[in-house]
Amino acid sequence: MKCIVYCILVLLSFITITSCNSDGDSCDPDLICTTVSIDSNWVNLSITEQLSGVPIALYNGNLEDNLIVLRDTLYGDSYDYYLPTGIRYTAEAYYRSGPNIIIAVDSKKLTTESFTNCDDTCYESDEITLDLVLIE
């Protein structure tokens, strides 16, 4: 019975610690704050390099939406595109493997988040990597 109580206490502590957010009244004057809304950021495509190049297609939303942002052929193992935030991007890479074609797919949302610091609204956005590298 004691063990169950300990388990529940550990679980509750973990939930409490992980759910803590800084409140809106906090102020850190040394914090670098971008007050202009971030409307674009980098989308990195990571691929398995092939000598003949790897055709890729980048979509807005899911593949079924068929909203193509761009098509390209990549000759390195990664490439960056500067694209609008607030959108889910899905990428396809087409690899030749003997008689087969392997189509690798990955998808992520490019987000912008805002928070308040010293009465300023600060914006931050993390670039994303779409991992189209083949399974070894």
Partner 1 sequence: MIRVFCFLIFSLYNTVPYAQELDSADTTKTKFKLNIVPTISTGIHVNLQDFYLDFGAGAFEPKSKIGVQLSCSFRPFYKKVQIHQQANIIRQWKEKKYLVSVDLYKRILKFHLSQSLNSSFLAGAKSGYLFGDYLGTRERPKAGLTINPFLGFSIWLNGMNLDVTYLLFNDRLASVPNSRLMFALNIPIIP
| Cα separation, 62 vs 84, whole angstroms | 16
135 touches partner 1 (CB under 8 A)? yes
Q: Looking only at residues 2 through 21 of this chain, which bind partner 1 when binding is defined by CB under 8 A? A: 2-4, 7
In 19-107, where does DSSP find H-type helix?
none
68 touches partner 1 (CB under 8 A)? no
69 touches partner 1 (CB under 8 A)? no
85: nearest Cα among 111, 114, 107: 111
42: nearest Cα among 124, 107, 128, 114: 128
Helix (H) or strand (E) holding 106: strand 100-110
Total number of residues that touch partner 1 (CB under 8 A): 26
Residue written as tokens 């004057």? 29
63 touches partner 1 (CB under 8 A)? yes
Nearer to partner 1, 7 or 31 (CB): 7
66 touches partner 1 (CB under 8 A)? no
| Nearest distance in Å: CB 84, partner 1 | 18
The 91-130 contact track toward partner 1, x by CB under 8 A, reads: x-----x-xxxxxxxxxx----------------------
In our burial notation (b when 16+ CB lie closer than 10 A, e otherwise), range 2-31 reads: eeeeeeeeeeeeeeeeeeeeeeeeeeeeee
Q: Looking only at residues 21 through 60 of this chain, which bind partner 1 when binding is defined by CB under 8 A? A: 59
Encoded tokens for 104: 């690798």
* Interface residues toward partner 1, by CB under 8 A: 1-4, 7, 59, 62-64, 90-91, 97, 99-108, 131-132, 134-135
